[in-house]
Amino acid sequence: MEFSVKNGSVEKQRTACLVVGVYEPRRLCSAAEQLDKLSNGYISTLLRRGDLEGKAGQTLLLHNVPNVPADRVLLVGCGKERELTERQYKQIIQKTVQTINDTGSMEMVCFLTELHVKGRSPYWNVRFAVETIQETQYAYNDFKSIKPEVRRELRRVIFNVANRKDLADAERALEHGKAVALGVTNAKNVANCPPNVCNPKYLAELAKGLATEYDTISTTIVDEKQMAELGMNAYLAVSRASENEAFLSVIEYKGSPNPDAKPIVLVGKGMTFDSGGLSIKPAEAMDEMKYDMCGAASVYGTMKAIAEMRLPLNVIGLLAGCENAVDGKAYRPGDILTTMSGLTVEVLNTDAEGRLVLCDALTYVERFEPELVIDIATLTGACMIALGNHNSGLMSPSNSLANELLSAAEQADDKAWRLPLGEEYQEQLKSNFADLANIGGRLGGAITAGQFLANFTKKYTWAHLDIAGTAWKSGAAKGATGRPVSLLTQFLINKAHI
Ligand code: BES
Ligand code: MN
Ligand code: ZN
């Protein structure tokens, strides 16, 4: 898809399709009004006849509008002017793209970016439009031998901004939006990939691919032999029953003008399949445990996005690749593992494997003397129960880091909600035989998982994102969401002060 922005007048656009908004009830936005004047009231006459009320998502496609040089004019209902929210704006853009895909127009000049979205600037209108269009056009067909027929799809999109002075912001929004969308798309592709293909080795190959693609990136891979030397015994225990060896990929992006600037570190859980191990999961929806690597997928996507934008920061992304399988070598409930940090952990449930892999990865990153560390993981079903599918769970002992992440989440419209940590929860992790147990009982399951990780992150500023509810959708629309790539990328954009 090709995107551009301009500040042009609606009467002069020679294009396959002009897109303008109509508010409820039958109120033309300024671009539509200009077209109405030019066509001597053609549009308002249609509206008066009742063809379009302006309800959000309604559309009316017009051909040969008098005196208008564009082939088509698409009127899009935008709801009540004062109630236009981000969510509604995105739905309107989505509906627009779906409608245009059915018309055979390969280009649109879109005036919806001129609308006023509550609390948002022209920058955000353009950025959300790019992200939403890419989202709408996304399909994962790599494994379909019969590919769905592609019609003459939308190829070129030109967004209009109302004021010339907003053009620079709009250009920046375009670059950011394209980079975020690329990151999201890549994260989705990796996440949707089946677990017999996307194994830890596959993740490592992707990580190495980034180093070939971008001169700002170098990648190193830690294999099981090196993990053993480092004492990453919790990570190795989880991997032991799998035929697929574990690989920890370390992706280093150097973009800061100061090469010695302390890095921001992102650690992604990359469980390419989570069977539960000996504490095996029930069969229902077990296929969805291929998505247990969505944390790693989001780190991969974010690294790609920041490399595209050439953000002036140093960032290190880890993909903690592993598979939780079952065989005679499987680790057991009752086993006591000595983690890389030296802390011992009694395994009470082999399905609480993510924290075991992450605790060693989080110890490993101490070597980078990070400015801060964020781990991203589909860690607990309990987080889905607590927050549903809409908010990722955020936990951090640092109020300032938590607040920065919450505002990035709000800016990017990739929502997160903070949950507490604390010594009360630490009590739940007591073991009779080791320093820690790997589960903390039924109550506050998302929090005790975060609290478990807190024991391994004392040497730096740290936050944990539990994306179990937000990383993918189940049911008819089953598929990865690419979250929280846009949250993380926004956080890094903010850190780069660009
Ligand atoms: N990957 C799962 C968490 C998960 C489950 C995410 C379902 C999304 C949907 C994680 O490894 C896990 O199994 N967690 C257990 C922890 C429990 C044993 C304390 C869980 O949430 O049930
Ligand atoms: Mn599990
Ligand atoms: Zn898991």
CATH of the domain at 89: 3.40.220.10
Domain identity same for 225 and 374: yes
> What spacing in Å lies between the alpha carbon of 419 and ligand 2's midpoint?
21
Domain identity same for 385 and 480: yes
Domain identity same for 93 and 147: yes
Q: What is the mean pLDDT of residues 124-128?
A: 98
Q: For residue 98, how many other CB atoms are within 10 A of its CB? A: 14
Q: For residue 226, how many other CB atoms are within 10 A of its CB? A: 13
Q: DSSP code of 463?
A: E
Q: Beta strands 314-324 and 264-274: pairing type?
A: parallel
Looking at the DSSP bridge assignments, the partners of residue 264 are 315, 372
Residues of the domain holding 416: 180-496
Binding-site residue positions for Mn(2+): 269, 274, 292, 351, 353
Q: Is residue 168 part of a domain?
A: no
Q: Is residue 335 part of a domain?
A: yes
- Which pLDDT tens digit goes with each residue over 10-50? 999 999 999 999 999 999 999 999 999 999 999 999 999 99
Contact 399, 490 (CB under 8 A): no
Structure tokens at 185: 């798309």
Identify the pLDDT of residue 148.
86
Q: How many residues does the chain have?
A: 498
How far apart are the C-alpha atoms of 406 and 412, rounded to whole Å?
10
How far apart are the C-alpha atoms of 350 and 275, rounded to whole Å?
10
- Which pLDDT tens digit goes with each residue over 326-353? 999 999 999 999 999 999 999 999 999 9
- Which pLDDT tens digit goes with each residue over 234-248? 999 999 999 999 999
- Which pLDDT tens digit goes with each residue over 143-167? 999 988 877 789 999 999 999 999 9
- Using the 3D structure, point to which of 128, 162, 196 is the last residue of a domain: 162
Q: Which ligand is nearest to the CA of 449?
A: 1
Task: Report the nearest atom of ligand 1 relative to the CA of 288.
Answer: 9
Q: Is residue 17 part of a domain?
A: yes
Cβ-proximal residues to 399 (8 Å cutoff; 6+ apart), any chain:
none
> What spacing in Å lies between the alpha carbon of 56 and ligand 3's midpoint?
39
Domain identity same for 237 and 326: yes
Domain identity same for 148 and 188: no
Instruction: Report residues whose beta carbon is within 6 angstroms of any ligand 1 atom.
Output: 274, 292, 349, 351-354, 378-382, 384, 439, 445, 468
How far apart are the C-alpha atoms of 15 and 107, rounded to whole Å?
7
How far apart are the C-alpha atoms of 264 and 401, rounded to whole Å?
12
Binding-site residue positions: 269, 274, 292, 351, 353
Domain identity same for 279 and 332: yes
DSSP strands (E only) in 260-371: 264-274, 314-324, 336-338, 344-346
Q: Is residue 428 part of a domain?
A: yes
Q: Is residue 172 part of a domain?
A: no
Chain-centre distance for alpha carbon 361: 21
Domain identity same for 189 and 142: no
Identify the pLDDT of residue 344.
99
- Which pLDDT tens digit goes with each residue over 282-309? 999 999 999 999 999 999 999 999 999 9
- Which pLDDT tens digit goes with each residue over 353-400? 999 999 999 999 999 999 999 999 999 999 999 999 999 999 999 999
> What spacing in Å lies between the alpha carbon of 274 and ligand 3's midpoint?
5
Asked if residue 109 has pLDDT above 90, the reply is yes
Task: Report the nearest atom of ligand 1 relative to the CA of 445.
Answer: 19
Identify the pLDDT of residue 354.
99
Cβ-proximal residues to 147 (8 Å cutoff; 6+ apart), any chain:
141
Cβ-proximal residues to 393 (8 Å cutoff; 6+ apart), any chain:
383, 386, 387, 416, 417, 419, 446, 450, 464, 465, 466, 467, 468, 469
- Using the 3D structure, point to which of 116, 136, 162 is the last residue of a domain: 162
Q: Which of 351, 355, 389 to mutate to test the pocket of ligand 1 (most atoms within 8 A of CB)?
A: 351
- Which pLDDT tens digit goes with each residue over 423-470? 999 999 999 999 999 999 999 999 999 999 999 999 999 999 999 999
Q: For residue 75, how many other CB atoms are within 10 A of its CB? A: 25
- For 376, the 3-state DSSP assignment is strand
Task: Report the nearest atom of ligand 1 relative to the CA of 281.
Answer: 13
Q: Is residue 173 part of a domain?
A: no
Asked if residue 222 has pLDDT above 90, the reply is yes
Q: Beta strands 392-395 and 462-466: pairing type?
A: antiparallel
> What spacing in Å lies between the alpha carbon of 283 and ligand 1's midpoint?
14
How far apart are the C-alpha atoms of 290 and 476, rounded to whole Å?
17
Domain identity same for 186 and 127: no
C-alpha dist (Å) from residue 213 to 207, 255, 304, 315, 316: 10, 15, 9, 16, 16
- Using the 3D structure, point to which of 101, 129, 162 is the last residue of a domain: 162
At what angle are helices 167-192 and 122-137 packed, to 10 degrees? 30
How far apart are the C-alpha atoms of 497 and 256, rounded to whole Å?
12
- Total domain count, the chain: 2
Q: Is residue 74 part of a domain?
A: yes
